[in-house]
């Protein structure tokens, strides 16, 4: 048993997650570069990362651009382009460019270490039915001793010469090692398989709970859709434009305010997207910025009070678009920001539908676009314009009706909603991993992971049950035969090893 623990830890640490990091980095001070130990690096230091180098720290690019391979963290082998302001993570490999990075985390605090820590705690996890198996195993050891003593006493009365080897056979044959291996081997294997494909389990109990899920709830932005918005409609209310301000100037104010938001929609208001690259915004100061989750953003620029967000947030009448801009309490412009369905949305939802799950979408987006977008998906219910509070209540309502829920979100701003679900899953990419509060994080950012996850949870449970069943049947059937003196000690040893090998081999089926 102990040796297996050691082995499973070894398997984990050999897996892609704990690939060793370089011990030195190229630190930059006053334009000169020196090689220093990673442990002497502190947050805020600048380091140079050259082509082909494995990155040793988490940081943000301050100069240069490159492509990195983040497969160690996400299971995704395709190179990812990284430019100024992008995050690079320890464990990823810099492929072609040369970048200077400002360090944001070292050692234990890197995303890689956090993932490792969470995977290790998982390796010790036991679901309820295998806790029972463990208790049975403990009890077995005791019973085994008592039974061997009884066997010895019995045989020493009837045939003293055979008493010793028969009781020894009983002792060996009934060793409950297969029983103890049944669960940890299965978990080690499934964990390794999932993490290699970029699915990280933060909460092991939740992984087991996946087997009871009957309803899967998705939000839209960044989950069923790509979360990459572009503006497809602009409607100006010319009479409400404040005196002395041009449309272009207003667009630049919108851009300045959206810079404070992390909502995916804010990227649709970049200077490039708004075609205002040439506008100089350096003299426009932004004050009193307030970012309101699930609603929008407000602030003050050059004595204008500006609100950008949903109709409700802006206090205007809703139409069929999703972003409203109110300046000094007057609706000035409206936008329709649209994004595309994820490539694998149709396939994944069809698969989940075939597994018999109820599928529901709850989105904060209130545009007609939101409902149209998902129109081909097998969703049982679609609700648009949902506040985070509404989503959480909705989930609790389902739970009251006895449903077990899996919430799939993009993990941005939706912590309370994720927390209210029985199991929560956040879609993300490498840089988001440590920000997430969900039980499961899909680091490779593919929706299909939801189906993979449910299939693996079911398979794991099935395999653990087979293991436990086999181990018990073996132990209980060999016991009387051994007590009767039909099993020589060497056969007992072979039997014990064989039953453990069968259990381990069965678990290995989880290593796809």
Ligand X SMILES: Nc1ncnc2c1ncn2[C@@H]1O[C@H](COP(=O)(O)OP(=O)(O)OP(=O)(O)O)[C@@H](O)[C@H]1O
Residues that bind ligand X (CB under 6 A): 219-221, 258, 261, 263, 265-266, 294-297, 308-310, 322-323, 363-365, 410, 413
- Of these partners, ligand X, Zn ion, none, which one is at the site of residue 177 (CB under 5 to 8 Å by kind)? Zn ion
# chain residues binding Zn ion, by CB under 5 A: 3
Asked if 176 contacts 495 with a C-beta cutoff of 8 angstroms, the reply is: no
DSSP 21: P
Least CB distance to ligand X at residue 261 (A): 3
Residues in the chain: 512
Asked if residue 204 binds Zn ion (CB under 5 A), the reply is no
Q: Give the pair of three-digit tokens for residue 414.
A: 């939706």
Least CB distance to ligand X at residue 371 (A): 12
Least CB distance to Zn ion at residue 180 (A): 9
- Of these partners, Zn ion, ligand X, none, which one is at the site of residue 266 (CB under 5 to 8 Å by kind)? ligand X
Q: Which residue has the tokens 């449910």?
A: 454
Asked if residue 326 binds Zn ion (CB under 5 A), the reply is no
Choices 16-24, 176-184, 367-375, 411-419 (CB under 5 A): range interacting with Zn ion: 176-184
- Of these partners, Zn ion, ligand X, none, which one is at the site of residue 342 (CB under 5 to 8 Å by kind)? none
| 262 to 301: interface string for Zn ion, x by CB under 5 A | ----------------------------------------
Three-class DSSP category at 171: helix
d(CA 259, CA 263): 10
Closest CA to 155 of 484, 481, 492, 486: 484
Based on CB atoms, which residue is closest to ligand X, 27 or 220? 220
Choices 15-23, 69-77, 169-177, 478-486 (CB under 5 A): range interacting with Zn ion: 169-177
Based on CB atoms, which residue is closest to ligand X, 188 or 261? 261
For the sheet with 87-88, list strands across it. 32-37, 24-29, 46-49, 99-105, 58-63, 87-88
- Of these partners, Zn ion, ligand X, none, which one is at the site of residue 175 (CB under 5 to 8 Å by kind)? Zn ion
Asked if 89 contacts 431 with a C-beta cutoff of 8 angstroms, the reply is: yes
For 326, residues 6+ apart whose C-beta sits below 8 A from its C-beta are 306, 307, 308, 314, 315, 316, 332
Q: Which of 17, 177, 210, 332 binds Zn ion (CB under 5 A)?
A: 177
- Of these partners, ligand X, Zn ion, none, which one is at the site of residue 444 (CB under 5 to 8 Å by kind)? none
For the sheet with 286-292, list strands across it. 230-236, 330-338, 323-327, 304-309, 296-301, 286-292
- Of these partners, ligand X, Zn ion, none, which one is at the site of residue 295 (CB under 5 to 8 Å by kind)? ligand X
Based on CB atoms, which residue is closest to ligand X, 47 or 379? 379
- Of these partners, Zn ion, ligand X, none, which one is at the site of residue 363 (CB under 5 to 8 Å by kind)? ligand X
Least CB distance to Zn ion at residue 494 (A): 12
Asked if residue 201 binds Zn ion (CB under 5 A), the reply is no
Asked if 183 contacts 127 with a C-beta cutoff of 8 angstroms, the reply is: yes
Least CB distance to ligand X at residue 265 (A): 5
Residue 250, Ramachandran bin (φ over 0: left; ψ between -120 and 50: alpha; else beta): alpha
Three-class DSSP category at 27: strand
- Of these partners, Zn ion, ligand X, none, which one is at the site of residue 127 (CB under 5 to 8 Å by kind)? none
- Of these partners, ligand X, Zn ion, none, which one is at the site of residue 216 (CB under 5 to 8 Å by kind)? none
Based on CB atoms, which residue is closest to ligand X, 336 or 468? 336
Calculate ∠ Cα 225-512-207, nearest 5°.
60
- Of these partners, Zn ion, ligand X, none, which one is at the site of residue 309 (CB under 5 to 8 Å by kind)? ligand X
Nearest residue to ligand X by CB is 364
Least CB distance to ligand X at residue 384 (A): 9
Based on CB atoms, which residue is closest to ligand X, 308 or 398? 308
d(CA 447, CA 346): 10
- Of these partners, Zn ion, ligand X, none, which one is at the site of residue 422 (CB under 5 to 8 Å by kind)? none
Least CB distance to ligand X at residue 195 (A): 26
Based on CB atoms, which residue is closest to ligand X, 95 or 393? 393
Q: Which of 28, 136, 175, 210 binds Zn ion (CB under 5 A)?
A: 175
Which parts of 483-502 interact with Zn ion (CB under 5 A)? 496
- Of these partners, Zn ion, ligand X, none, which one is at the site of residue 439 (CB under 5 to 8 Å by kind)? none
What does the buried/exposed string (b/e) look like for 235-252 if buried means 16 or more CB atoms within 10 Å of the residue's CB?
Answer: eeeeeebeeeeeeebbbb
Based on CB atoms, which residue is closest to ligand X, 409 or 495? 409
Least CB distance to ligand X at residue 257 (A): 8
d(CA 45, CA 31): 12
Least CB distance to ligand X at residue 362 (A): 7
User: What is the CB-side half-sphere exposure of residue 4 using CA atoms within 13 A?
Assistant: 20
Instruction: Render 445-471 in DSSP notation, one character per residue.
Output: --TTHHHHHHHHHHHHHHHHHHHHHHH
Three-class DSSP category at 63: strand
Based on CB atoms, which residue is closest to Zn ion, 26 or 497? 497
Based on CB atoms, which residue is closest to ligand X, 134 or 312? 312
| DSSP H or E segment with residue 406 | strand 405-409
Least CB distance to ligand X at residue 224 (A): 8
CA distances from 270 to 26, 64, 69 (A): 34, 21, 27
d(CA 336, CA 229): 9
- Site for Zn ion, rule CB under 5 A: 175, 177, 496
């Amino acid at each position: 048993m102990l040796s297996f623990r050691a082995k499973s830890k070894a398997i984990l640490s050999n897996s892609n997650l704990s690939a060793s990091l370089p011990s030195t980095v190229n630190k930059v001070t006053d334009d000169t570069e020196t090689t220093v130990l990673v442990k002497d690096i502190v947050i805020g230091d600048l380091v140079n990362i050259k082509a082909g180098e494995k990155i040793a720290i988490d940081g943000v690019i301050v100069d240069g651009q490159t492509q990195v391979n983040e497969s160690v963290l996400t299971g995704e082998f395709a190179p990812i382009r990284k430019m100024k302001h992008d995050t690079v993570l320890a464990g990823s490999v810099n492929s072609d460019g040369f970048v200077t990075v400002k360090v944001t985390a070292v050692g234990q605090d890197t995303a890689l270490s956090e993932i490792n820590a969470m995977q290790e705690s998982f390796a010790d996890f036991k679901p309820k039915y295998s806790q029972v198996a463990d208790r049975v195993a403990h009890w077995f050891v005791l019973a085994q001793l008592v039974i061997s003593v009884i066997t010895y006493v019995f045989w020493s009365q009837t045939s003293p010469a055979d008493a010793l080897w028969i009781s020894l056979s009983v002792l060996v044959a009934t060793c409950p090692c297969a029983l103890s291996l049944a669960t940890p081997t299965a978990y080690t294997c499934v964990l390794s398989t999932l993490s290699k494909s970029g699915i990280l389990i933060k909460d092991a109990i939740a992984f087991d709970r996946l087997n009871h899920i009957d309803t899967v709830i998705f939000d839209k932005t960044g989950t069923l859709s790509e979360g990459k918005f572009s503006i497809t409609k602009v409607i100006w209310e010319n009479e409400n434009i404040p005196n002395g301000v041009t449309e272009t100037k207003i667009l630049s104010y919108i851009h300045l305010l959206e810079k404070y938001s992390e909502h995916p929609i804010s990227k649709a208001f970049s200077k490039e997207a708004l075609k205002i690259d040439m506008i100089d915004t350096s003299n426009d100061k932004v004050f009193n910025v307030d970012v309101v989750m699930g609603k929008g953003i407000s602030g003050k620029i050059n004595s204008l009070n500006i609100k950008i967000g949903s109709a409700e947030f802006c206090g205007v009448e809703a139409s069929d678009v999703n972003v409203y801009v109110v300046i000094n309490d007057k609706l000035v412009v409206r936008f329709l920001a649209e994004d595309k369905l994820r490539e694998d949305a149709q396939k994944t939802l069809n698969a989940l539908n075939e597994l018999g799950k109820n599928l529901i979408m709850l989105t904060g987006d209130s545009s007609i676009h939101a409902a149209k977008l998902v129109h081909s998906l097998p969703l049982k219910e679609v609700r648009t314009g949902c506040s985070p509070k509404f989503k959480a209540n909705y989930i609790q309502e389902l739970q009251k009706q006895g449903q077990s829920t899996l919430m799939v979100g993009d993990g941005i701003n939706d912590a309370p909603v994720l927390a209210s679900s029985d199991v929560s899953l956040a879609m993300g990419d490498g840089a988001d991993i440590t920000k997430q509060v969900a039980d499961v994080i899909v680091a490779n950012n593919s929706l299909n992971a939801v189906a993979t996850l449910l299939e693996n949870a079911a398979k794991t449970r099935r395999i653990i049950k087979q293991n436990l069943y086999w181990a018990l049947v073996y132990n209980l059937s060999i016991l009387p035969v051994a007590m009767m003196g039909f099993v020589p000690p060497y056969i007992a040893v072979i039997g014990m090893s064989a039953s453990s090998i069968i259990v381990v081999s069965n678990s290995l089926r989880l290593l796809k």
